[in-house]
A and B are shown apart, each in its own frame.
Chain A
Amino acid sequence: MKKVEDFILREIAGEYVLVPTGSASKVFDGIITFNEQAAFLWNNIDECETVEALVKKLTDEYDVDEEVAKRDVEVFVSQLLAAGIINK
Chain B
Amino acid sequence: MGNQAKVFDTKEIMPVYRELIKNGKEVSLPITGHSMEPFLKEGRDRVILTDCKGAFLKRGDIALFMREDGKYIMHRVVKKEGGNYFFAGDEQTFIEGPIKHSCVVALVKEAYRKGKRITCKNFTWWFFKYIWLLILPMRRGILKFLNRTIYGSCENEEG
Contact = CB atoms under 8 A, between A and B. Distances in A.
Given A25-B48, A26-B28, A13 B117 contact: no
A75 interface: yes
B8 A13 contact: yes
A16 B127 CA distance: 40
A15 interface: yes
Interface of A: 8, 10-13, 15, 17, 19-22, 25-26, 28-31, 33-35, 37-38, 72, 75-76
Given A12-B16, A13-B12, A29-B112, A72 B1 contact: yes
Contact of B1 (A13, A20, A76): A76
B28 A34 contact: no
Interface string B1-15: 110001011001100
Contacts of A38: 1
Interface residues of B, number: 20
A19 B20 contact: yes
A34 B17 CA distance: 17
Contacts of B91: none
Question: Which 6 pairs across A and B sit closest by C-beta, in order of nearness?
Answer: A21-B25, A25-B28, A13-B12, A10-B16, A38-B1, A33-B6
Contact of B2 (A30, A31, A33): A33
A19 B1 contact: no
A73 to B, nearest CB: 10
22 contacts: A10-B20, A12-B16, A13-B8, A17-B8, A17-B16, A19-B27, A20-B28, A21-B25, A21-B26, A21-B27, A22-B25, A25-B26, A26-B110, A28-B28, A29-B28, A29-B46, A29-B112, A30-B28, A35-B1, A37-B1, A75-B1, A76-B1
